[in-house]
Structure 1
Amino acid sequence: MSDLITTHIESFDGTQMAIHRMGEGRPVVLLHGLFSNADVNWIKYGHAAALAGAGFECIMPDWRVHGDSDAPTDPEAYPAGVLVRDAFAVVEALGLTDYDLVGFSLGARTSISAVLAGLTPRRLVISGMGLEGLTNWEKRVAFFIDMIDRYDEIERGDPAFIAKSFMKAQGIDPVAARLLLTRGVEQIDTAKLSTIAMPTMVLIGDEDRDNGSPERLADALPDAFVETIAGNHMSCVTQPGLSAAIVRFLSA
């Protein structure tokens, strides 16, 4: 496996963000999902190593509240669109001008928002996301807010138990997470999806419809197709098919 290097940058407001890097070659920015981190999403199951082996430099930030990045509990640290601003901070701090962008789940949603706000990757991978994940965000967030508000009461058998267990295992601060979810994640105007011009792969597990229809999302984009791999929303991240599909698309 290529050596893994971890550094930190300051985001727009001084929040320290961890950036994990592996490989040499064409830069690809990989954005992880909610309550996860770069290690769980991209490193642990070999995806970064596969991309590095195919000639890419993997650039894997931990979102604020996640992984080795800061988790501020000041509400002012969570303006609307904060993750988009963090994504811009990564691209600007590293001086990236010619790169690809890959996002999973919340990272996919943020990738779309960031492109709509002006990021210009050569190619875009939207994984673990469907159209309804963009339009029904408030409903999705409500589940997690309820989980955080009942954090100490949730026991095995509760529908929120798996989400709580995953969040706890990753060391997520519930106070910071609640602020991020209620204040920091922006709405997306799906009418603007037609302006996303770069080639896009909508990558989805064959049992994953947690965020709605990937086909409808691909249909809303000018130059997109759906690629299906094995797994549900959680398990597809553990499958080698995830990075194999990304390598094929980015290498074409």
Structure 2
Amino acid sequence: MEQAINPVDGVGVAFRVIGDGTPLMLVHGTALSSAIWRAFGYVKALRHEYQLILPDMRGHGRSDGPYEPASYAMDLVVGDVLAILDRLGHERAHYLGYSFGGRVGLSVAAAAPDRLRTLTVGGGSSRPQAGSFDRLFFPGCVDVLDRDGMTAFLDTWNAHRSTPLDPATRAAFDANDPRALVAYMRRAEQEPGVPDSVLASITLPTLLFVGSEDRMRLGDTRRMAALIPGAELAVLDGDHATTVMASGDVLSVVGPFLEAH
């Protein structure tokens, strides 16, 4: 993997580049890594049409993982995305982010819209995130991860799920440093979100998709679609975890959107 250095705090962000063509950055969700895009079939489907840029976000995968929550402030995370584009010499790229990756994309679109060709947000939210991990995983999940480690976190989450945790997701979670992930989660829950006025000012071609059973994000996604001028909305089968795994369904709407822009 290659590495880009954030010039503000010196954190190194690992990323992989696959394929040729117009650059498309794919940004994973919480506690995952760039490996999910291969595991779920996105790389195979897209590599012949796009240059895929696959980062491990700070605190995840092979990127640096500081242990201070302040190191995960959203302006620093946005800086990581821009540092990768600078490292590759790209003025602009298409952007697709899921869950946390979607929130990052909204923040990049707000801070540096000239660096994006399009914005695709899956299972995202612009709202403040206090308590979001308890709703996404299980009550008290950050404390369990902090006190008992990743195995206890995954076992407890699995017990709360309606379907068993898939091997690719478990492997991605296991690859993280729990202390870094706790720091990221503590900071993420303090983030104020993206104001409605900022969403209303986004002029990039924007696609929003969400699972029909994603009770956490369905309403938020519909609300963002109403606020972002000209945004397209796709509601797909699935919940927050399974929607991104169904790459065929996702790409059936993302593919035509990218081709149109």
Q: Report if TM-score (shorter chain) is over 0.5.
A: yes
CA separation of 1:22 and 1:167: change in aligned 2, threshold 3 A: closer
State how far apart, in whole Å, the 1-side matches of 2:82 and 2:54 are: 13
State how far apart, in whole Å, the 1-side matches of 2:119 and 2:62 are: 25
The partner residue of 1:124 within 110, 116, 119 is 119
- The answer to whether the 8 A contact 1:35-1:166 is kept is no
1:106: how far off? 0.4
Identity of matched residues, %: 27
Do structure 1's residue 83 and structure 2's residue 73 form an aligned pair? Answer: no
- The answer to whether the 8 A contact 2:22-2:51 is kept is yes
CA separation of 1:199 and 1:76: change in aligned 2, threshold 3 A: closer
Amino acid across the alignment from 1:199: P
SS of residue paired to 2:104: helix
1:74: how far off? 4.2
CA separation of 1:80 and 1:127: change in aligned 2, threshold 3 A: closer
Pairs within 5 Å for 1:147-226: 147-151=141-145, 152=148, 156=156, 159=160, 166=170, 169-183=173-187, 186-187=191-192, 188-213=194-219, 214-226=221-233
Amino acid across the alignment from 1:48: V
Count of residue pairs the alignment pairs up? 241
- The answer to whether the 8 A contact 2:236-2:243 is kept is yes
- The answer to whether the 8 A contact 1:67-1:170 is kept is no
State how far apart, in whole Å, the 2-side matches of 1:183 and 1:45 are: 28
Query: What corresponds to 2:39 in structure 1?
Result: 44
CA RMSD of aligned residues (A): 2.7
The partner residue of 1:137 within 129, 137, 150 is 129
CA separation of 1:189 and 1:225: change in aligned 2, threshold 3 A: same
Amino acid across the alignment from 1:182: R
State how far apart, in whole Å, the 1-side matches of 2:217 and 2:255 are: 24
State how far apart, in whole Å, the 1-side matches of 2:184 and 2:89 are: 26
- The answer to whether the 8 A contact 1:78-1:183 is kept is yes
- The answer to whether the 8 A contact 1:88-1:119 is kept is no
Amino acid across the alignment from 1:135: R
Per-residue CA shift, 1:169-224, capped at 9, x if unaligned?
43322321222222367322122111100111101122223224122110010010
1:123: how far off? 1.2
1:107: how far off? 0.4
State how far apart, in whole Å, the 2-side matches of 1:70 and 1:235 are: 28
Give unpaired runs (5+ residues) of structure 1.
1-5
Do structure 1's residue 69 and structure 2's residue 71 form an aligned pair? Answer: no
State how far apart, in whole Å, the 1-side matches of 2:80 and 2:256 are: 28
1:135: how far off? 1.6
Do structure 1's residue 248 and structure 2's residue 242 form an aligned pair? Answer: no
State how far apart, in whole Å, the 1-side matches of 2:88 and 2:10 are: 16
- The answer to whether the 8 A contact 1:135-1:190 is kept is no
- The answer to whether the 8 A contact 1:38-1:62 is kept is yes
Give unpaired runs (5+ residues) of structure 2.
none
- The answer to whether the 8 A contact 1:9-1:16 is kept is yes
SS of residue paired to 1:250: helix
Q: Normalising to structure 2: TM-score of the pair?
A: 0.82
CA separation of 1:232 and 1:26: change in aligned 2, threshold 3 A: same
State how far apart, in whole Å, the 2-side matches of 1:114 and 1:39 are: 22
CA separation of 1:136 and 1:142: change in aligned 2, threshold 3 A: farther
Amino acid across the alignment from 1:242: V
